[in-house]
Amino acid sequence: MYTISEIFNSALQPFSSAKLRAISSPVEIVKNAMLELESNITLVESHSVIPLIPALFYGDNIYSLPQDTVGQIIDLAPMKNISSQSLIPELQASRVLSRDYLNLSQYLSIEYREGYQYLNVQQNLQKNTPIVLSNCDTETGVTGLFDASNVEVNTLYAREESSIDFDLAITNGVGEIVFAIDSTDISTITRDGTIQMQVDLPEALIGKLTNVSIKLGNDDAFASNAEMVVTRNAFGARFQYGYQPLQFIYRSKTLTGSFDEAAITHVKVRFEHTLTEAVKGVRIDGIQALKGIAYELHFYNKKHYVNSAGTMILTPTVVGDKVIVEREAYQILVNECRKLIDFELNGNDGGLQYKLATQTLMGIYPNAGLYERYRLKYPAEVMVEVSDY
């Protein structure tokens, strides 16, 4: 990285020092030079990578957008060294999003939900067979506690074959459904795993449901347990009317006692609410433990500057701000600045330095210029736009 002043002073070397006073703003010179550079090449320096944690699963995967302004998605690639099991992510082919040659049904979008901007990835990346904690297909071993009552199996209103249907009263502000299950081992999914379920919320509960938690226990008293809480659905939006998925990130769990993830015998789903009138028809549908494949999102960002605090910024404001370029792009930037300086000093046709800088950048046959050399060294200059999704 180079400061604005370093780049500008290098560009100014062929000019008389007396000419400096005629230049309106070094910051504007460098900023405009960067715009010209970007119109000719895609900076490899602006290539950024973020991990998509938790791992991707089948369906609608919602992530916060990267901190950097996303200019163009390049690729979705497996993360390195996340597993020693039979499926090794680093041996997989990269899942390129700009083309879907293999009919992998990959979908990627940047969208708004509830006023927030999200990255939405839909792709079947399930790594292990889901571990079913409850199919919600029997009342046996299912108990309603506190405000939850009238527990029964509903085969009509279900996302899968059946759901656990119950009512919520207003006495306690809490309703719990406890499932007694056969001892279940989820230890194979827990590194990047989630617990997921579908819930169906009646309209009267919307705006009144504070949070939903799930507790995995090794006994009916839950003396040893792992608990996870969500305040939004799996789409990142507030709880909504109707069916929606909930996703509990296993690594966010709170542990109590000597919890053994290889011997889960009870599952408790807890609804905290502020109801003033009882509601009917709350449903839980299919509780599963899942593990996907952890991926990295590769993209080009539009932030090419760093301020004195080390924060990436879109636009420089002072000569102490740094430009995110390495040596090859720095040389291009200096010559683009030199063109702009000469243009400002000499008018529309520029002067000698304008012509020399242009020849250095574009080359004179058969000698390649700086732009062509950059493209040869970093062939990412021509990238296919992600427009299919």
- Per-residue pLDDT band for 129 (boundaries 50, 70, 90) equals confident
For residue 94, is pLDDT > 70? no
Three-state SS for 32? Answer: helix
Beta bridge partners of 256: 225
Give the mean model confidence (pLDDT) for residues 284-295.
86
Whole-angstrom distance, CA of residue 351 vs CA of residue 349: 7
User: Which of 60-69, 147-156, 230-239 bottoms out in mean pLDDT, i.e. has the lowest?
Assistant: 60-69
So what's the pLDDT on residue 207? 96
Q: Which residue has the higher pLDDT, 76 or 206?
A: 206
**pLDDT, greater one: 111 or 2:** 2
Q: How far apart are CA 83 and CA 81, in angstroms?
A: 6
Instruction: Provide the whole-model pTM.
Output: 0.70
What tokens does 18 get? 């007396």
Interval 360-388 mean pLDDT = 76
Closest by CA position to 57, among listed 384, 290, 369, 342: 290
3-state DSSP assignment of residue 290 = strand
Query: What integer best gives the mean pLDDT of the chain?
Result: 85
**For residues 205 and 228, what is the distance between their CA atoms, to the nearest angstrom?**
21
> What SS3 class is residue 124?
coil
- Pairwise pLDDT comparison (332 vs 121), residue with the higher score: 332
pLDDT bin (cut points 50, 70, 90) of residue 124 is low
The mean per-residue pLDDT over the stretch 267-279 comes to 98
Question: How is the chain split among helix, strand and coil, in percent rounded to 5?
Answer: 20, 40, 40
Q: Which amino acid is at 281?
A: G
Encode burial over 305-327: b for 16+ CB neighbours within 10 A, e otherwise: bbeeeeebeeebeebebbbbbee
pLDDT band at 192 (very low <50, low <70, confident <90, very high): confident
pLDDT at residue number 59 = 67
* Residue 52, token pair as written in the block: 């998509």
Residues 380, 374: Cα–Cα separation, whole Å: 10
Side chain identity at 279, as an amino acid letter? Answer: V
Cβ–Cβ under 8 Å, residues 308 and 321: yes
Q: Which is more confidently placed, 192 or 260? A: 260
